Amino acid sequence: MAGLRGEHRFFLIFFVSLLLFPFLAGLLGQQVWILSLSIGSYCLIYLIAAQALNVQVGMTGLLNLGAVAFVGVGAYTGALLLTIPDAAGDPAIIAFWASVTPDLAGHARWILFFLDPNFLAYVTIAPPAVLMAILMSLAIGLPTLKLGGDYFAIVSLGFAQIFYLMVKNEAWLTKGAFGVKDVPSLFSFCTGEDKIVFLERTAHYFLGVVVLALSIYVIVRVRDSRWGRALTALRDNELAAQSNGVHLARYRVLSFVLFSAIAGLAGLVLLARNRFVSPSDLNFWESILYLCCIVLGGLGSVRGAVVGAIALGCMGELMRIGLPKISDDIPLQVRYVLFGMILILVMRYRPNGLLPVAADEAARGRERVHDYRDVEATLFTLGDDRVDP
């Protein structure tokens, strides 16, 4: 531990805690265990979606208010592919893999989980789901390459509303307001009389941990590469970046592709958790909450997005479950009021978030003498004439 950088220590402790969480929660009783896993798996979706949105808003400076639509693209694509029936009425993809994989029994079912037909079906649909999310992002991104600020935010918001209305009204494809139901579980041994109860409750949770680890690894690698530095330059000052050879269209498309791919994977985790998807999962407020997560943690900060998503994700799910038990007269929308109050306090006392970019860079051993990002919310601009401390 002593030889690790601050950021490495943070993520090592974080992922070890995530892996131990289901086992430690089980020591508190079955009801607490089930409730904890429900909150934890929901929080993982927030973590993945917040990391995806942080690529566009935090690293590239594009305000995206339609992130939930790309999560929905991944979820709906996966749900529709998994529920395509064969001649016998069973899911065609699962039936195919069941015909080419050995029939396992006993402990071999979970030891050789990578041979499970359901798991192989989810692996099969992952590339099409991610590809569809990428194509959707290019459909909105390419025509709007020269837009920025409020104009791009309005376009992304419009796309989210169009997608929401499409999945709600095109019942011939998306089953309408009732959504796509009866989606197969992540593993075949998570259902039936001989199911493994522990894995029934935790399979989708561990899938979320794996997707989150993969997402953070890719984002950190991009952030520390010349691509990431180009994105940061465009965020800080487009004119100065382009005058130094940074291609605006190319790097904006890169941020679109990376954001939408991770958001599509978040949709698959949501699908594995709920085993159905409906328009109610694509509420506009979800996009706002994703945005609140990265604002709370610190725009552009990978660790900050983790802290913000855990804080708001856990708090939102606890209030969703706890408020009806306190009183039936308290509407669930009260949680949005509390979120707003929290953000007001954070913007007052920590205008750059709980873990801003400068703190993130210090944890990586790259603290800058001339970094003013802890002083004010706006990033440095060309021609800044402030006196160095």
Kindly state whether residue 217 falls inside one of the protein's structural domains: yes
166's enclosing H/E stretch is helix 149-169
Kindly state whether residue 382 falls inside one of the protein's structural domains: no
pLDDT value of position 13? 92
pTM (predicted TM-score):
0.87
Interatomic CA distance for residues 64 and 250, integer angstroms: 18
Kindly state whether residue 233 falls inside one of the protein's structural domains: yes
Kindly state whether residue 99 falls inside one of the protein's structural domains: yes
pLDDT value of position 86? 85
Q: What is the pLDDT of residues 10-45, one digit of tens each?
A: 899 999 999 999 999 888 888 888 888 989 999 999
What's the domain count of the chain?
Answer: 1
Q: What is the pLDDT of residues 132-178, one digit of tens each?
A: 999 998 888 888 877 767 788 888 889 899 999 999 998 888 888 88
Do the beta carbons of residue 304 and residue 7 sit within 8 Å?
A: no
Interatomic CA distance for residues 301 and 208, integer angstroms: 20
Q: pLDDT grade, residue 366 (50/70/90)?
A: low
pLDDT value of position 384? 39
Kindly state whether residue 381 falls inside one of the protein's structural domains: no
Stated length of the chain: 389
Kindly state whether residue 377 falls inside one of the protein's structural domains: no
Residue 241's domain comprises: 6-363
Interatomic CA distance for residues 197 and 275, integer angstroms: 16
Kindly state whether residue 375 falls inside one of the protein's structural domains: no
Kindly state whether residue 368 falls inside one of the protein's structural domains: no
Q: pLDDT grade, residue 53 (50/70/90)?
A: very high
Contacts of 261 (CB under 8 A, 6+ apart): 52, 130, 133, 134
Q: pLDDT grade, residue 377 (50/70/90)?
A: very low
Q: What is the CATH number of the domain that holds 252?
A: 1.10.3470
Q: What is the pLDDT of residues 179-227, one digit of tens each?
A: 898 899 998 887 767 777 788 889 999 999 999 999 999 999 998 888 8
* Phi, psi of 275, deg, nearest 5: 65, 20
pLDDT exceeds cutoff 60 at 389 = no
Interatomic CA distance for residues 152 and 253, integer angstroms: 14
pLDDT exceeds cutoff 80 at 382 = no
Task: Report the share of the chain in percent with pLDDT over 70.
Answer: 87
